[in-house]
Each structure stands twice: as structure tokens, then as C-alpha cells.
Chain A
Amino acid sequence: MIALPAPKPEILARREEIVAALRTIVPGDGVIGEPTRLKPYETDGLAAYRQVPLAVVLPTTTGQVAAVLRYCHETGVRVVPRGAGTSLSGGALPLADAVVVGLMRMNRILEIDLDDRFAVVEAGVTNIGITKAVEGDGFFYAPDPSSQLACMIGGNVMMNSGGAHCLKYGVTANNLLGVKFVTIEGEIIDIGGAHLDAAGYDWLGLITGSEGQLGMVTEVTVRILRGPEGARAMLAAFKGTEIAGAAVDAIIGSGIIPVALEFMDKPCIHACEAFAHAGYPLDAEAMLIIEVEGSVAEQDDLLNRIKAICERFDPISLKVAESAEQSLAIWKGRKGAFGAVGRISPDYLCMDGTIPTSELPFVLKRIGEMSTQYGLGVANVFHAGDGNLHPLIMFDANDPESFRKAEAFGGDILKLCVEVGGCLTGEHGVGVEKRDLMTVQFTARELDQQRAIKTAFDPQWLLNPSKVFPLEGAPVPLAAE
């Protein structure tokens, strides 16, 4: 288990006063102080960790967010920002002495401009909500995390979330134009806007993926793109992971960048097939789902090129969708992968390291060995084009020993990712989950440098504390101005 800091008794003792003060800022039912009603906020997508917060506040305006943060800053109260609470790394996990500032009530779409291809939305708008607002005109918002029905754009910004189509369209950071940023001191700052490149330091780039460490975001300006004429998928199954890896290399080496290129290993194929009956080949060691875009003729051209490449690798099966329905059927298993694994195991941990794609066969072999050693099953899905690996470690949450082993197994996988030249997290963030592994990837000085930058934004370290940075290694004091 990952340690959380002891709550400050002097803050706990002030609960009633704090709740009353918050009520003067956010009226009505926007402040929750009753312990029973705080329960729904006790965890996020990393459900093994739970902690009821001191209070929850649900502002409806940027002004309220600023006033809440200023109050917390002036009176030394810790803050945990929250969107939809789908973080898989415990990024939105509360602390006992912290106020959760949830932006789910800030869910308005403020402006859509199709000519200039941007939309301005409040932080609590869901990811899919942006696409829904513009798809009638043929546009979409590109980053598409699997959680897109629930997760919110503010959370996406703070996690720099990716999706199945980011090989072509990039992750959140590549699709943002601006944010309305609120500092812990309660200052409201507009960063970027409807134009592509703001001059000066790239504050937008620094804030994106900062996991609530630097400030809060209340509005986001995103790029919206015109969708392609169409898209179609194919499935290619191979006798070995190495062979599938070589096929991926050959596809990219041929100059084709498919819009999606997903890899599943044998346990994952089996779990998904049992769940979705998508017609996946059960004798395959590895399977690719490859999607291309364009007109029907363009799709045919690209799929034929890819098929010809795959044929060089002695495939067990190659299935090119003939229609949009067949495409959906191919995707159905992959999209349900998490749910499918959830059916064969009571609980699972979803890991998220990235590796150089050439290391895939070696890494999968080592994960297989670790699985035997820990006695826990694992299924691997992988964004093959960009090296982002999602091993799903199966365990039983009712058995503390099983959970301990699963965490240790996950830690070993992430260390392996770093060893082969990759990183701890490709899209889910560090949160609490990977906090203590940061020393595997970074030197003490590198972490101190990042801490010093956090201090420049949040001098008292009130924002989302005990996440991202290992607890030991005290905050670096602020250099004198």
C-alpha cells in the first residue's frame, strides 16, 4: 500500500468553520460537509484506495473556484481537484484533511467556431460531450480515451490523456489552444486562446499533464477537426508476439501511419472473445487491430497495402472489414477489453508503461515470467504504434496478499519499462499509484527541479499533495525573487 500523509489535526478540528466559509462562497447544495454524503467522493478509478475528504465543494463559476482556492491558500487547507474521478492512478484520491473541488457542475459549452475550428468549453464538459456538440457538422475532438463517456476535459488536460486514435491525431496536449487557469492564490489567468501559438513561455504545455499540481483549469479551448470521410478496420493474427511486432515495424516502415494500431496478446484475445464473441482467432499468440481512414477507395488501397505486408509474416488469419458494421465487430472485443478481463477476474490493476516498440517481444516475455513467479494472471493490450503498454494484472481485492502481490508485480513491470528505455506512464499519470516509483525514472536532482517548479506555482504545496512526487524529499524552498 502507498502511504498517505497523516492529516493535520488542526485542520480536522476546523471542519465546521471551513464548511461554513465554503458555503459563503458557493451557495445552495454546492458544499457537502455531511460524512455520509461524502462517500461517493472517497475514491476514483484506482478503487483500491479510499479516503473520505474533509468536504466537497462544487462551484459553478470560475469566480467561485478562485474564491475557494484563495480561501484555502489563506487558511492553509489542502485542495484535491476533481473532474469525473476516472483517474486510474489515484490522481483524484482525496485526503482526510483536504477539500475536494469538483468541477462537474461547470459543464457548459461556451463557444463553437467551425470557421476557426475551435471550441471553448467548461472543464466539467465530458470528452464525448465536445464531439457530440460538433459532430452534426462533421467535426470532432480528436483525443478519445476509452473513458470518454464519463471523463471530463479538465481531467483530460491535467492527465494529458490519450486514446486509441492518438497515433495519428496526438494526445490532449497536441489538441489544446488555451485554458482559463486559476492559481492557488485565486488569480484567474487566460493562457493561449483561439490562435495556435502563444508567444512567451509555453505555460499551456507545462500545465497540461501537471495532474492538478500547479493550479486548476476551469475553461478549455480545444481544436476541433473535420472528421475523415470514413474509417475501416482489419484484424491480423500471428503465431508469435515477435512476429506481430515485426509486422508493426514493417507497416510503419512502409510509410503508413494507421489511425489506430492496437495489439492484444493471447490471454487478452481469449478474455475479449469470451466476452464479445467478435470472432477473434483463439489459436493466435498475438493479434493486431489496424484502422485506416479516407474514402472507401482510399481505405481499400491502404488496407490492401497493409494486408500485403502482413502476408509476409505468415499470419494465422487476416480479416479486412467489408463494412462499417464489420469494423465495429472487430473493435467490439478491444473496446470491451477492460470489462472482459473484469469478468474473468474479480479485480484487476491496469498498468500503463511505455516502451520502445522494438522491445515488445522481450518485455512481453519478461511479463509472462513475472506472471508465473507472482502466481497472478495478466492480459496485455498495447497501443502498438506508440509503445504504450496496458498490462491488466488480475487479483482478488478481498485477499490483501493478492493485492500486495499485484502491486509488486505492477511495480516490476514499470521498472522494466524504464530499464528498456521507456517510462512509467504513457497516459494515466503518476497520481499516488506511481509516485514512489518516480525515483526509478528520475534522479533526485531531476525531481528537485520539478518540485521547485511546483513551488513556483503553489508555495505551500496545498494543491493535490502526496501525488506525483515521492513524499521523502521535502519541497524545495522558493528561491528569492
Chain B
Amino acid sequence: MSDLIAPADEDGLAAAIAAAHAAREPVAIEGNGSKRGLLRPVQAARTVSTRNLSGITLYRPAELVLSARAGTPIPQIEAALAEKGQHLIAEPPDTRAIFGSDRPATLGGIVAANLSGPRRITWGAMRDHVLGIRFVNGTGEVLRSGGRVLKNVTGLDLCKLLAGSYGTLGVMTEITLKVLPAPEATATLLVAVPDAAAGVRALSAGLGSPFGVSGAALVPGEPLLAALRIEDFAPSVTYRIGRLRETLAGFGALTTIEGEASRALWRDVRDATPLAAQPGEAIWRLSVRPSAGPAVVAAAGALGGRALLDWGGGLAWVAAPATAAAHAALVAAAEASCGACTLFRAPEDLRQSVAVLPQEPAPLAAIGRRVKAALDPAGILNPGRMRAGA
């Protein structure tokens, strides 16, 4: 572990980055460090953390906006929202179990990794709900993009650029999110299906129905279950589950679970718990077109691993032996349907020796280097986190 600097405020953080820039000294960027095991390890003598930049700075339930400093733990935000009957739209996964971390993710970390859960299929990704950011660029300047209103197209959208940039383009210090009312009721229809292909067809039929399915996953087990979630006012949930049962009657035996049982199932899917990844195994996250999900399941099986499909089949969590060959096979499986494969968790030697993210075509990679230079000219922010030598 490198030396940890955890400034007390944004000015302190900006000063730390400015000093690193002046000294041309790479720094690792993190919140609580709960996802240190994600993507590639950073070689840096110092780590700058946002963990002391904590607290909700603005919350207007009727305006559907919440702002918090980047180091605010996600559970704290979820609790504040729950008090007003609202929630985080993208239901980001809690990756503590996957990475064996005892500290919860921070808001900055979740946005920087653009991690979204089951609701992404209908309600959008984490990055879709970022309305505004304050951030420190690689020279130590404090800048803003977006704002605190729901609709804003003023200037280039650096919120989206920084969301999913894993701290390589800037250090977010405060983030404003769109939030929504949490549903009054929820229930899940479970369809027993013979295999992944039939399961994805059932999910597709549900997602193509007018009933507003807000979660669509294949839960491994005996039998394999296609799970379709409805979240709404109570009378609507009853009505829509009934209509979904009619729609999906031909796909297999049906059961309905409600309330807390439904919520618990989706927390598990969100956190990839049903994947049952073993400590020595690596974990991948593949984003593919939904109908390509079953091919990923097959590829995982051929490697002696397992897959969990969410997002109607379009998100595959895979657990398999941590080898370069397994990685290559899964990258190929994603590429076969023009999708994207991310090595999510692996021992350090594997993370260092393979490309953990899809390669970009040369002209885009060149633009990427120039954009990186525009934000972090000395290349000090999280070097090597996403790609070797960048």
C-alpha cells in the first residue's frame, strides 16, 4: 500500500493534486478503496483519497435532486433517500463481498466506475443520473460541469466523460444526482425455464410487454428461473403481475414472490451473489446484446465456470478460473456479438498481464490520449488503472 493522503476538503485535495502535478509524481485515486481490486493496479508512491470529503450537501426531494461530496458512503445516501421514500435509480451493486472489502463504496467511486444494477435495463445507468459534478483535474484546478437541474445541455458533458473514467481524468469532489420516488410495492414473477436461451426469450417477452418490467435476470439453480420484476403503486403491481403471468404462461411454471422476498432476490442479483464466485476465481462483467447472453453462458461453462445473466440477458457476470486463456475466451465471446468484456476481479498478476478493458480502435485510442492530456497533461492520475501505460 502506498502512502495515503486524505484531504479534509476540496481545497486540500486540489492542493495535493497540484503538488503531484508540479512534481510529475503519479498518484493513485480512490474513495474508500473498496474497488482497489477492480481493473488494473496502479503503481504510485501516494494515494489520494476522497474519503474525508463526506456529507450530503443538498437534498430536495420534490425536485428529485441530491448532491453529496464524493467520499460520502453509498449506504448513507441510500438511508437519507429512504427517509423521504426515494432511492438511487440505478441501484448500484454493493461489491464488498466480491472484493472482500469491509468499507462501503463511496458515491465518487460508484460514479467513477459507472456501476449500475438491475434497474439499468429500464431506468438507465449510474452515469445517466449524474446531473452535475465538481472535480479536480490533473493540474489541480477545481472545475464544474453540469449543474443541479434535471435538464441541462450547456457545454460539453464532462459528467458523462468522468463517469466511468476510474479517476484517470479528474478527481470528482461533489456529485449531483437525479433521484426518484421508491416504489410503493414490488413483486417478481419467476418462470422456471429449461435453459438460458429459453430464459432470455422469456425475459425478452416480458421486456417487450407494456407492463414496465424493471428487472429481468436469469437466476441459476434447479430449476433455472427467469425473474421479472414490477415496481409501482400496489394496485398496479397486482395488475401487471397478473398480465405478465398471462404473457409468459407458455414459457414454464410460474410463481410470484412479493415485498421483502422480491427485494432480497434483487439485492442478490445486484451484488452477483447467485454467481457464487469462489475466492480463487476471477470475475468478469460482459455487456452484450441480450440475445447473445446464452452464448456467454455457454462460453463460461466451457471454461468450467458459471454465469449470471441480468439486464434481460445483456449483462453477464462470469466466474471462472483466473487464467489468461479464460480471459481471452470471454473477450472473444463478447466480441462475437460486438459487446464489451471487463475483467472485474482477478489476482494481480492476471490483471497486470492482460487488457482488462476492450481495446479501442487506433483512431479512438489516439483521441483518448489527447483527451487524457487535455485533462491530465502530466499523466499523474491513476496511471495504468484502465490500460497498461496510459
Indicate if B288 sits at the interface (CB-CB under 8 A): yes
Determine how close the nearest CB of chain A comes to the CB of B350; give it in whole angstroms: 17
Return chain A residues, CB-CB under 8 Å to B169.
Answer: 201
Q: Which stretch from B102-110, B140-148, B219-227 is at the chain A interface?
A: B140-148
Q: If A297-B239, A426-B149, A480-B373 touch, does A170 touch B341 (CB 8 Å cutoff)?
A: no
Q: Are B60 and A189 in contact (CB under 8 A)?
A: no
A298-324 CB contacts (< 8 Å) to partner B: 298, 301-302
Interface centre among A116, A254, A385, A476, by most chain B C-beta atoms within 10 angstroms, is A116
Return chain B residues, CB-CB under 8 Å to A294.
Answer: 236
Q: Which of A159, A202, A213, A445 is the one whose CB lies under 8 Å from B163?
A: A202
| Cα separation A428 to B150 with both chains bound (whole Å) | 14
Indicate if B246 sits at the interface (CB-CB under 8 A): no
Which residue in chain A gives the minimum CB-CB distance to B387?
A: A200
A106-128 CB contacts (< 8 Å) to partner B: 113-118
Binary contact track A438-468/B, C-beta < 8 Å → 1, others 0: 1001110111011011111100000000001
Which residue in chain A gives the minimum CB-CB distance to B363?
A: A187
Q: Are B149 and A446 in contact (CB under 8 A)?
A: no
Q: If A183-B363, A206-B157, A479-B373 touch, does A423 touch B152 (CB 8 Å cutoff)?
A: yes
Q: Which stretch from B122-130, B188-196, B249-257 is at the chain A interface?
A: B122-130
Return chain A residues, CB-CB under 8 Å to B204.
Answer: 115-117
Indicate if A60 sits at the interface (CB-CB under 8 A): no
Determine how close the nearest CB of chain A comes to the CB of B112; give it in whole angstroms: 11
Q: Are B149 and A162 in contact (CB under 8 A)?
A: no
| Cα separation A427 to B152 with both chains bound (whole Å) | 7
Return chain B residues, CB-CB under 8 Å to A480.
Answer: 373
Determine how close the nearest CB of chain A comes to the CB of B159; give it in whole angstroms: 8
Which residue in chain B gives the minimum CB-CB distance to A230?
A: B210
Binary contact track A135-158/B, C-beta < 8 Å → 1, others 0: 000110000000000000000000
Q: Which of A116, A193, A423, A481 is the one whose CB lies under 8 Å from B369?
A: A481
| Cα separation A479 to B137 with both chains bound (whole Å) | 14
Q: Which stretch from B26-34, B68-76, B353-361 is at the chain A interface?
A: B353-361
Indicate if B278 sits at the interface (CB-CB under 8 A): no
Query: What total of chain B residues lie within 8 Å of the partner, measured CB to CB?
Result: 86
Q: If A449-B158, A479-B370, A479-B373 touch, does A386 touch B137 (CB 8 Å cutoff)?
A: no
* Interface residue tally on A, bucketed by range: 35 or more
Binary contact track A156-189/B, C-beta < 8 Å → 1, others 0: 0001101000110011011000000001010101
A215-270 CB contacts (< 8 Å) to partner B: 226-229, 248-250, 252-257
Return chain B residues, CB-CB under 8 Å to A298.
Answer: 235-236, 239
Q: Which stretch from A20-28, A43-51, A349-357 is at the chain B interface?
A: A349-357
Return chain B residues, CB-CB under 8 Å to A445.
Answer: 141, 143
Binary contact track B302-331/A, C-beta < 8 Å → 1, others 0: 000000000110110000000000000000
| Cα separation A454 to B371 with both chains bound (whole Å) | 9
Binary contact track B149-181/A, C-beta < 8 Å → 1, others 0: 111111111111101110001000000000011
| Cα separation A455 to B182 with both chains bound (whole Å) | 42
Q: Which of A170, A248, A295, A441 is the one whose CB lies under 8 Å from B154?
A: A441
4 nearest A-B pairs in the assembled complex, by CB-CB distance: A205-B160, A456-B370, A426-B151, A255-B181
20 A-B Cβ contacts within 8 A?
A170-B124, A194-B337, A195-B287, A202-B161, A206-B157, A227-B210, A252-B63, A253-B61, A298-B239, A354-B147, A422-B147, A424-B154, A425-B153, A441-B155, A449-B143, A449-B158, A450-B155, A468-B155, A481-B370, A481-B373
Residues of A within 8 A of B (CB): 113-118, 138-139, 159-160, 162, 166-167, 170-171, 173-174, 183, 185, 187, 189-191, 193-206, 208-210, 213, 226-229, 248-250, 252-257, 294-295, 297-298, 301-302, 354-358, 383, 385-388, 421-430, 434, 438, 441-443, 445-447, 449-450, 452-457, 468, 476, 478-481
